[in-house]
Each structure stands twice: as C-alpha cells, then as structure tokens.
Amino acid sequence: MRSVLAGPVETAARALLGCQLTAGGVTVRLTEVEAYAGTGEDPASHAHRGRTQRNAIMFGPAGFAYVYFTYGMHWCMNVVTGTSGVASAVLLRAGEVVSGLDAARVRRPAVRRDVDLARGPARLCAALGIDRSAYGLDLLSAASPVRLSWGPSSPPDEAVEVGPRVGVTGAHDLEWRFWISGDPTVSAYRRHVPRTRI
DNA sequence: GGGCCGATCAAG
DNA sequence: TTGATCGGCCCA
C-alpha cells in the first residue's frame, strides 16, 4: 500500500478507488478521488506556492493525512502521496458507507438517502467525524484512529472514469478526477465560478 | 494588519 | 442561486 502511494500521484489516485477508510466507527469504500501535484507543477494544489505551516505534511512521505479547513466550516481530507520532498496528494471526494451506517446517520442527520452520507469531500469527513485532529495521522498504522486499507475488490480499469477536477480555479484541461463509473455516491461536477464582487 | 477568496454544502 | 463563515495567504 505505502509503495503504491509513493508512486506517481495519478497511479496512487486510481489505486485508492475501492479502498476502505475507517474512522469514528464508520467505514467507507472510496468511489471518487482527485490527484493534486506538488510545488510548481499544479496551480490547483495547496502546495503549489511552496511549503507553509498548513501544507507541511504534504511534503512528507506517503500514507499520511492532510486535512484542511475550508469555507469557514468544512473539513476535507487528502492522502499524501509521493516520496518525501514531493508534495503530491489525493483528495478523497466521495465514498459509499459500507459499515457504521447508524453512526454516519447520527453525524449527518439531515441526509435522507444513504448514498448522500459521504457524497462530497466535506460530507465524507463529516460522516466519519474527521476534523483537524486527524491532521498528520499515519493512515496505514494499525494504531491510527483513521485507517486506510485495501478493499475486498478494486474496480477494473474499464470501470474507472476520468474528468476535470471539481471547483478548481485553473487547469481545467487536466483530467485528474477519478471515479467509479455509475456509482450513485459520486459527487456532482461543478466548475469553479469566481466570486462576483459587489 | 487588512482584505480577498476558497479542492463546499444545504436550503430556497 | 445564494448565504454561511473563517483561516490562509498575499499585499491586488
């Protein structure tokens, strides 16, 4: 697992589809992810402008959690990829809750359909109770409260679709979003819309 | 120190 | 379609 994540970020992203993420008594099977490259390579990456306190974990070895706070209210989680010094990561955009449905429903009481419990990067974190405290955890350690493991089956290549990333300002030509074809838990595509000034 | 904006979500 | 809501980052 660690060695796959340490490879090229696109390879790591594809490999994460079908994997299981467990936290807070809930397990999801990952159905949608996005790849982000490191410093200077990818204008949409949080590491694009170099190392800061927030993105520091991205510069470390693969398999650790990069969790960030956005829009004043939401948490999102990445799996750090690449070798030490390479600040690439994979954003976990959606998953199917495969166990701990009750716990997930308690955390997301407004949800009507189970497929919406972890359908979106902030929703996924909410369903699993992931917040700032998960920053920097080793997801491959048995002792970690947030754990990543191979799923019972990974989707064959022909079942994986590819497209532009959601909500990113630039690099619309880069097709670094990967999802399991036809899966109902995959989030809706939205292009970034610049905020209109008053 | 200040201002702008974001890898989003839910309700209208 | 829009408001919520605040941390990160650059100085526009």
Domain-by-domain residue ranges, chain A?
2-180
β-strand A88-99 against A146-149: which pairing, if any?
unpaired
pLDDT score at A60: 98
Across the strands, what pairs with A66? A78
Q: What is the mean pLDDT of each run of 10 residues along chain A (198 residues)?
A: 97 98 98 96 95 97 98 98 97 98 97 97 98 98 97 92 91 92 93 69
pLDDT score at A197: 54
pLDDT score at A143: 96
- Architecture of the domain whose range is A2-180: Roll (3.10)
Rounded to two decimals, the pTM is 0.96
pLDDT score at A52: 97
Q: Round to whole Å and give the CA distance between A79 and A144.
A: 14
pLDDT score at A190: 84
pLDDT score at A173: 86
Task: Find all residues with CB under 8 Å of A45, minimum gap 6, and list them.
Answer: A36, A37, A38, A39, A87, A88, A89
Q: Which residues numbered 124-183 in chain A sit less than 7 A from strand B, measured from CB?
A: 124, 126, 165-169
Whether the beta carbon of A44 falls within 7 A of nucleic chain B: the reply is yes
User: Strand C-proximal residues, CB under 7 Å?
Assistant: A 46, 49, 52-55, 69, 71-73
| Both tokens assigned to A116 | 């919406």
Do residues A25 and A103 make contact, with C-beta atoms less than 8 angstroms apart?
yes
